[in-house]
Amino acid sequence: MKMTSMLRPCYVALMFVSSIWTAFGQQGANQSFGNGLLNYTAEDKSFSVKFAPRFQTRYYATAFAKDDYGTIDQSFLIRRSRFKFDGWAYAPSIIYKLEFGLSNDDLSGGSEFTKNTNRLILDALIRWKFAPGFELWAGQTKLPGNIERVVSSANMQFIDRSILNSSFNIDRDLGVQLRHKTLWGKSFVTREILALSQGEGRNIATGNEGGLEYTARIELLPFGEFAEKGDYVMSAIHREESPKLMLSYTYDFNHRAVKTRGNMGSYMYLSDGSLFESSIETHFIDAMFKFQGFSFMGEWAARQSANAFATNNDGSLTGDVIGIGTAWNVCAGQFISPKVEVAARASSVTFDPITALKNKTEITLGLNKFISGHNLKVQSDLGYLWSNGAPSSVSFRAGFELHF
C-alpha cells in the first residue's frame, strides 16, 4: 500500500526514533521525567544525544458577537506533536538541535518553494562556541525576534501566543547567527545577536527569491542572568530570590521581501506569475521581569514598508497587502500556591488605515496548574476579542502539555 504524503514523514521520524531506542535504550534506565526520554553519551566521549518528545492537546470554544453569542464553535485538536533531539558532536563546544513537527499545523504550508512537501523540519541547527562569550549558529531556527515568539511553545503562559505575535513575528528562517555575551562588573550582562537569513521562512528548498533578511538584537540584564534561562520561559516556574530584569530591542530588515509579512504570510504573486518585492522593516522592544512567584512580560512591535500594496506591472492591485502598523502586548502572572498560577494578558494590533486591515484588541485571563513545571501542566484561559473597536468574540480554551 502506498503511504500518503502526510504519513511518510511521520513514518520516517518514528523509524529514526525506534533505531535510536533499540541501540541506546538501556542508557535511559536512570533518567528522570523532564530530562528527556533518552540520554546517551558515547563511550569515547565523541558525541551525545538527548531525545525529548512532546505534545499538546487543545480544546477551543468560541462564541461570536454577530450571533448574539448564541452559537458556539467547538473543536478538539493536537495543537503540537514534536520530536526534539539535541546534544553535542565531536566536542562539547559544538552543539546541535533537531526538531521535527508532526501535527497537521506543523506539517502544513507546503508550496512550490518547499517542493510541495510537508514542512517536517522545525529546527536543524549547529552552534559552535568558538571563543569565550561567542557562539556561531548555522542552519534553520528561530530568528532573534520578539521574546514571546522565541520562547518555546512548550513554555508558554497561555494556551497560545498573543495577537501581536500572530501579526508581527519573524519566526524561523535559514541562515547564520553570531551571538556574544559580556559580563560587566559583578552582575550586569549584555547579549548581542546578529543574524543573516534567506528571508522566506522555514523549509525553503528552491533557492532565494527577493533579497536577504538582516536581524540585530541587543539584550540588557542589569541584575544578572535569570535562573534556568528564565528570561525565555514564561511564568515564574523558577523562583528568583532577587529581582531579575531583561530589556531588549530587535531591528529586522527584510530586503525585497516577497511575502506579506516578510518571511511569513503568503507569497505576493503578480499577474505574470512573478513575485512582487517590497522591503520591510520590523522593530521589537520587549521586557521580562521576575521576582519570586511573580512574572511580567511586555512587548511593542512596529512594521514599516514603503510599498504596502502589491502592484502589477500595469499598475493594477493584486489584492495582497503588507500589514504595516504597530502592536503591544503585556502579561503578568502570580503563583497563588506552589503549583497554581493566575495570569492576565492584554494585547492590541493597530494597522495603518491605508491597509484597511482589521484592528484587534484582546483581553485574556488564565489559570494554570503545573504538575511538573512546564513539562506536565494543565492550562485554561478565557479571552474577549474586539475587532475595529466592536465586540467580536468570547473564547474559552483548555489543554495540557506533556514534555519528556
**pLDDT at residue 328, rounded to an integer:** 98
Q: 390: which strand partners?
A: 387
Neighbours of 18 (CB within 10 A): 11
Q: What is the pTM of this model?
A: 0.92
pLDDT at 28 exceeding the cut of 80 = no
Contact, 186 vs 210, CB < 8 A? Answer: no
Q: Over the stretch 282-324, which tens digit does the pLDDT of each residue have?
A: 999 999 999 999 999 999 999 999 999 999 999 999 999 999 9
DSSP assignment letter at 270 = -
Cα separation, 201 vs 295, in Å, equals 31
CATH of domain 7-403: 2.40.160.10
Across 182-189, average pLDDT? 96
Contacts of 272 (CB under 8 A, 6+ apart): 312, 313
**Would you say how long the chain is, in residues?**
404
State pLDDT tens for residues 63-121.
Answer: 999 999 999 999 999 999 999 999 999 999 999 999 999 999 999 999 999 999 999 99
What the block records as the C-alpha cell of 200 is: 522566506
Extents of the domains making up the chain: 7-403
- Secondary structure percentages of the chain, helix, strand, coil, to 5: 15, 55, 30
pLDDT of residue 2: 44
Buried b / exposed e across 277-292, counting CB within 10 Å, b at 16+? bbbbbbbbebbbbbbe
CA–CA dist 321, 259 (Å, integer): 9
Nearest CA among 147, 246, 142, 150 for reference residue 195: 142
| Contact between 284 and 257 (Cβ < 8 Å) | no
Q: Which residues pair with 381 in a beta bridge?
A: 366, 397
What's the pLDDT tens digit per position in 371-394? 999 999 999 999 999 999 999 999
State pLDDT tens for residues 45-54.
999 999 999 9
CA–CA separation, 401 vs 109, rounded Å?
24
CA distances from 109 to 68, 256, 340 (A): 34, 21, 36
Within 152-311, strands assigned E span: 172-184, 188-197, 213-221, 240-257, 259-261, 264-267, 278-292, 294-305, 309-311
Count the Cβ atoms, other than its own, within 10 Å of residue 101: 24
358: which DSSP letter?
P
Residues paired with 249 in a beta bridge:
218, 285
- Residue 34 pLDDT: 87
pLDDT surpassing 60 at residue 5:
no
Quickly state the pLDDT bin for 18 (edges 50, 70, 90): low
All three cell numbers of 11, joined, read 513514518
Q: Per residue in 267-289, pLDDT tens?
A: 999 999 999 999 999 999 999 99
C-alpha cell at 285: 522592544
Pull the grid cell for residue 172: 524561523
Concatenated DSSP letters of 41-86: E-TTSSBEEEE--EEEEEEEEEEEGGGTT--EEEEEEEEEEEEEEE
At 32 the pLDDT is 85
Q: Return the biggest CA–CA distance within the chain.
A: 68
pLDDT tens column, 341-363: 999 999 999 999 999 999 999 99
